[in-house]
Structure 1
């Protein structure tokens, strides 16, 4: 992921590369008080925006995630029926119903791991 940005206050603050998501606004700052798995005195800026579904916009963002240059990305439709959380090495998909999950599984079966445990 991107390197730490020196700041006053926390010892380490992660800020996303705004060139990949230029219209994003600060939504929340996650601190070690919010998440005990974070190192003490850590802050992670979470940003949000709306963008049309266009591969030209999403591909650079997804490539940065796959290359571990960007993290904490969640994609969702405007009605939030599902959440897609890619990370270097995989992705999580959270759906509102089992039927929707199964439909995604069938539609994108070529994305699934061939490992017997699904890893």
Structure 2
């Protein structure tokens, strides 16, 4: 989809305002959630969703733990603010999927000469006031690995929460802010040296 090594050149169809915001805050990385942690390690921390770093919830009680951890961090980052929910949708068509309430940011496509194997990534954005639980259906899809590449950010894109199946990568405005959040939820960190 997007080559992390080269500079991100937004497609012609990209929303210029969102692209400017992204480039102002995250200039060294395209808006691809899983690439951010390696590019911005100085402001990155990863939290695991379940005790023992287990990846997938198995029952109602474990889903409650996963959503509690996601929402606790999201509340710390965004309480009282509007957020942008950034959700990629992958299809085999260049047509942007109908998505009421979601704004199209950009579409990228795999560079495959055979149209049969082309995959289109349509990146959609929803703006909403943050409140605990407002993204729970989306977060549950992420926890079940039926949705990927999601990012939640403030409207100036200063902080990013990237939930994935098993936890969340969080990027903060400064290393000091990252350290405070990391220390507050030390029990949710990986035991690995690299933090993954």
Please provide the CA RMSD for this pair. 2.8
- Contact conserved, 1:14 with 1:44, CA < 8 A, in 2? no
* Residues 1:96 and 1:41: Cα distance change in structure 2 (over 3 Å): same
User: Residues 30 and 42 (structure 1 numbering): CA distance in 2 closer, same or farther, change over 3 Å?
Assistant: same
Q: CA shift at 1:6, angstroms?
A: 5.6
Aligned to 2:143: 66
Aligned residue-pair number: 102
Distance 2:132 2:184 in 1: 18
Residue 177 of structure 2 is aligned with which of 95, 100, 116? 100
Taking the aligned partners of 1:14 and 1:67, their CA distance within structure 2 comes to 24
Distance 1:111 1:51, change over 3 A: farther
Compute the TM-score of the two structures, normalised by the length of structure 2: 0.44
2:154 matched to which residue of 1?
Answer: 77
Deviations 1:39-83 (Å, cap 9, x if unpaired)?
A: x51111101121111223211111111111111211112232211
Partner of 1:27: 105
**Which stretches in structure 2 are left out of the alignment for 5+ residues?**
1-89, 112-116
1:94 to partner: Cα distance? 1.7
8 Å CA contact 1:73–1:86 kept in 2: the answer is yes
TM-score by length of 1: 0.68
Q: Choose from 124, 127, 133 the match for 1:50.
A: 127
Name structure 1 gaps, 5 residues minimum: 34-39
**Alpha-carbon spacing, 1:64–1:15, altered in 2? closer, same or farther (3 Å):** farther
Higher relative contact order (CA 8 A, sep 6+): 2
Shift of 1:97: 1.2
**What secondary structure is seen at the aligned counterpart in 1 of 2:133?**
helix
Would the aligned equivalents of 1:46 and 1:72 in 2 still touch at CA under 8 Å? no
Structure 1 residue 107 displacement after superposition: 2.5
Task: Tell me what 1:37 maps to.
Answer: none
Distance 1:100 1:42, change over 3 A: same
